[in-house]
A and B are shown apart, each in its own frame.
Chain A
């Protein structure tokens, strides 16, 4: 039984577990909307554009926390930019996301190329730092996760109303544009939490896979969030075990575990594909 308990004797594994739990919770709460409303591309874009903010902060000589704050600022800018571009500029949601994606990501890579130890840092941003999370970063991510959960809970009725029927929500006095922008910001914040811990490439693993799995198991918005968080946590623990014992990278191990769980649920689910494929709906 040692293989079960061994990993957790190390502090970096304990930290990884806590950090991963934040990602699982933030990812599932927001992920329910991402899966149901087809916002995955935004999550992916934010993961990349966060790089720009992180790069600027890094070049300014910032600490790890400042780098995280840079990423947060870039993420929020992306979400607000997408919301405005797709609403006022008559562009489709995808096109709006793509424009922000290209612009900020290119800027990020450009700035990264100015740094001397470019390769090393880029790598840490690509795969995350889950096995070496500094304490300040851990706290920041915890706070961010708490903010995401509390805001989603507080505005649950509005978020759900707008997601279900924006026309009527508007007629009922819901500030629809504000709620839609807010949802995109929440997605962006969750993407940043995931970005710092599992890296650019694996944000989707925590934002989409657990929530998509949950829609195969339960069919109420609230329970999709809860089960999604549970699935994300299981994927996290499983992935950390694999990473520890097989001596492979943690991020990809977690991501692969999440996808394997999704596949199992898909094969075993009586409802199969029906639930997790959202109808294409404009969200902004």
Chain B
């Protein structure tokens, strides 16, 4: 269960994390990710304002919000690519920069040049990159033959594709390659920016199984997503943002119709699913990419 460090007064009482005892206790003792009063942006544009939340170990947090709502900015702040303007950001007990080696980050796939000639094995091995100088650099050339690379590929079921060019794989396979690259260093925290974008339902389901399994193994994850159905079914918490934080808590409690309307700025198709509460499908603009 997520932990509400501070209850922002503008949030309805109902959406704050209720919490089952043990996990909450654990999170309270040592939250893996702690964000308090975070404000960040680009140039003079504020992308995030007053974000406060904490994530305990093994949580799978769905980061929900429309395009341009600050999801990518939040993730980039957590990995240390964006400095916070105000507020506190702590990952694994240190600043993002200090913890970077133990954080796995998967950016949006647009930044990848799929036409570039490179094999699956080489891409996964990139996850082991670290700056080296002098003769130590030669060790970098052995990265591709390390057991960790083999392990990460097996874990995601792409071992048989090791020698293939990444550009000729299916979308689902490409996503697994990028995830394997993220996992190769065995990070404690995973920050995934829309790993399911563009995948069909079946392939996305496969990906969700991988994520759920990783959470079971104790990885802490924040996943930006547009798929509210998956958030309901598989995630332990949802974090709704649209510049401000609108809700944080277990999906069934946090993703109320009211919150969704305020997050996405319009009414969504919301329907009941028995005791599971609501399921909603936002009207996502296809082909519009997020540049926040």
Contact = CB atoms under 8 A, between A and B. Distances in A.
A281 B129 contact: no
A221 B111 CA distance: 19
Contact of B115 (A157, A170, A279): A279
Contacts of A250: none
A168 B113 contact: no
A174 B131 CA distance: 7
A171 interface: yes
Contacts of A219: 117, 165
Contact of A164 (B80, B105, B126, B137): B126
A171 B79 contact: yes
Contacts of A220: 117-119
Interface residues of A, number: 28
B138 to A, nearest CB: 10
A278 B141 CA distance: 26
B107 interface: yes
A90 B137 CA distance: 34
Interface in B90-133: 100, 105-108, 111-119, 123, 126-127, 129-131
A157 B165 contact: no
A165 interface: yes
B116 A164 contact: yes
A163 interface: yes
Contacts of B119: 220
B113 A164 contact: yes
A251 interface: no
Nearest to A224: B117
B117 to A, nearest CB: 5
A167 B191 CA distance: 13
In this complex, which of B80, B119, B129, B131 has the most chain A Cβ atoms within 10 angstroms of its Cβ? B129
Nearest to A172: B129
Interface in B201-246: none
How many chain B residues sit at the interface, stated as a range, is 20 to 34
A169 B111 CA distance: 10
A154 B137 contact: yes
Contacts of B116: 36, 163-164, 221
Contacts of B159: none
Contact of A157 (B79, B80, B113, B140): B140
Contacts, number: 73
A248 B107 CA distance: 54
B30 to A, nearest CB: 24
B63 to A, nearest CB: 17
B81 interface: yes
A87 interface: no
A215 interface: yes
Contact of A165 (B81, B111, B115, B117): B111
A161 B129 contact: yes
A168 B117 CA distance: 17
A174 B117 CA distance: 20
A168 B107 contact: yes
A165 B130 contact: no
Given A36-B117, A163-B116, A219-B165, A168 B126 contact: yes
Contacts of B100: 171, 173
Contacts of B115: 36, 277-279, 281
A160 B81 CA distance: 20
B251 to A, nearest CB: 28
B188 to A, nearest CB: 16
Q: Which of A36, A166, A170, A221 gathers most chain B CB within 10 Å?
A: A170
B109 to A, nearest CB: 9
Contact of B111 (A157, A167, A173, A224): A167
Interface in A227-273: none
Interface string B141-176: 100000000000000000000000100000000000
Nearest to A221: B117
B118 A160 contact: yes
Tell which of B79, B112, B114, B115 has the most Cβ of chain A within 10 Å.
B115
Interface of B: 79-81, 100, 105-108, 111-119, 123, 126-127, 129-131, 137, 140-141, 165, 181
Interface of A: 36-37, 154, 157, 160-161, 163-174, 215, 219-221, 224, 275, 277-279, 281
* 7 interchain residue pairs of minimum CB distance: A167-B111, A167-B107, A279-B115, A171-B105, A165-B112, A164-B116, A281-B113
Given A164-B112, A171-B105, 20 more contacts: A36-B113, A36-B115, A157-B137, A164-B113, A165-B126, A167-B107, A167-B108, A168-B126, A171-B81, A171-B107, A172-B126, A174-B131, A219-B165, A220-B118, A220-B119, A221-B116, A224-B117, A278-B113, A279-B114, A279-B115
21 contacts: A36-B113, A36-B116, A157-B137, A157-B140, A157-B141, A161-B126, A163-B113, A164-B118, A164-B123, A165-B107, A167-B111, A168-B105, A168-B106, A168-B181, A170-B81, A171-B79, A215-B117, A219-B117, A220-B119, A221-B118, A278-B115
